[in-house]
Amino acid sequence: MSETVKGPASYFPSIEAKYGQPIGHWLTMATEKLSTLPHMEVVIFLKSEHGLGHGHANAIVAHAKAQK
């Protein structure tokens, strides 16, 4: 029996399906931006420059921050 994925990672399959890039692509981008920008500015960047929805962008940034 496998455990249900919870938290930001629960969005990853739909992010990959909707935007056509592996989650590693988005996490790398968010991690790089987090070195100079606060959380919400990285969310805004992903939304405005790459067309991600707010929930998807926020999940990526939250996960990237948690991995630091």
State residue 60's pLDDT score: 98
Domain with 17 in it: 9-67
What percent of the chain shows pLDDT beyond 90? 88
Q: What is the pTM of this model?
A: 0.91
- Average the pLDDT over 33-37 and give the result: 97
d(CA 57, CA 11): 10
State residue 2's pLDDT score: 65
d(CA 31, CA 22): 15
- Average the pLDDT over 47-63 and give the result: 97
State residue 47's pLDDT score: 98
Q: Is residue 2 part of a domain?
A: no
- Average the pLDDT over 32-42 and give the result: 98
d(CA 52, CA 43): 9
Number of domains in the chain: 1
